[in-house]
Structure 1
Amino acid sequence: MKKSMIFLTLGAAMIAAPVFAAPGGKMGNADGNGVLTRAEAQAHADAMFARMDANKDGKVDAADREAARAAMQAKRFASFDANSDGSISKAEWDQHGADRQAKRAEWKQKRAAATPEAGDAEKGKRHGMRGHRGMRGGHHGMRGGHGMMMKADTDGDKAISQAEFQTAALARFDAQDANRDGQVTAEERKATREAKRAEWQAKRAERKAQRAAAPPTAPAN
């Protein structure tokens, strides 16, 4: 199995792990005071690694990826198999579709019930989210997760040990801890987000300029 495929999948999982992708996240803040300490970041990294290490062999690799995929498929099957008889009948299939439609209708009603101002603001927020994290943004996020995983795998063995995972998580914590006081505050998290956003916008502008400056492609004969 190609190394890039292994890390793309595991990278996506790590993006969902706040301690790795954003160590100042609420999930790492055990006492709920809004300030993440280095000890909390380390503890959360260890807990997240334990969750990702499905077969408990002390590393996160392709075997864990397959286990996670199998678990996801089993969960999805169970959501259809209402009577848990190991098969999905047409009635269960239709019911699942009806439930989804009902949830969608409920969501639309809640959105319509919001004030126009709130609705417009929310729409703008969602549009911005799609622009930064949507189809293309999500793929960009996958590449970001891939890069994090590649950096974490310091010995190049296509697996992430607990020590490597913890080192990477704490390195990201230290990058956010601007004043080096051993804790990450809301202000430091905001500064990190703004710096990342500015970096992303600069790269986007650079790519746009490069495309504009590129000579037109000659038509095929």
Structure 2
Amino acid sequence: MNMRNTLSIAVLALLASAATTAQTAPAKAKIDANGDGVITKAEAAAFPKLAQRFDQLDVNKDGKLSADERRAMHPRNGRDGARMHEARATLFADADANKDGRLSRDEFIVEHSARAAEREQQRAQRAGEAGKQKPARPQPTEAERQQHIGAMFDRMDANKDGTVTKAEFDAFKPKPRGDGQPPAKPAPVK
């Protein structure tokens, strides 16, 4: 037998083995067994870690985990999902200066800018305490920062009525950025 035939037989044997394994491997269990979009306590019972946290995650205590409650159980950016949900709720409440349940563009820009300045000050303080210089990175101008925040508001305003409701705010998924900063000033074109 020549080398080509031996190689062909080996490849066929490997493919047959993989196909057999794929057919006999157990299917991954689905948490939402009946596919109704919610997870009941009975469905969670098949998953020990979820069953253990079920009552904690079932915020409205209706015996089911809704899509919002399930999103809150996943870690995001190294934070617990529930903490992130709580932080976003606080951001909305703090930004809603007139307490009408809607954010105007100005309310959002003012609150977002204040929080960004606070985060920047905390970063500088931590760097100073660690004996390090604040990392040099190009800082956008205030106008550029407000433009970026305004664009975020526009993406949040799903019905384009000039205000953001709590539902629109909760549904919004910010574009991921590596450093959490607005885009740096582009280099001048020559």
Relative to its length, the structure with more helix (as a share) is 1
Greater radius of gyration (CA): 2
TM-score where L is the length of structure 1: 0.26
TM-score where L is the length of structure 2: 0.29
Kindly indicate whether structure 1 or structure 2 has the higher relative contact order, using CA contacts under 8 Å at least 6 residues apart.
1
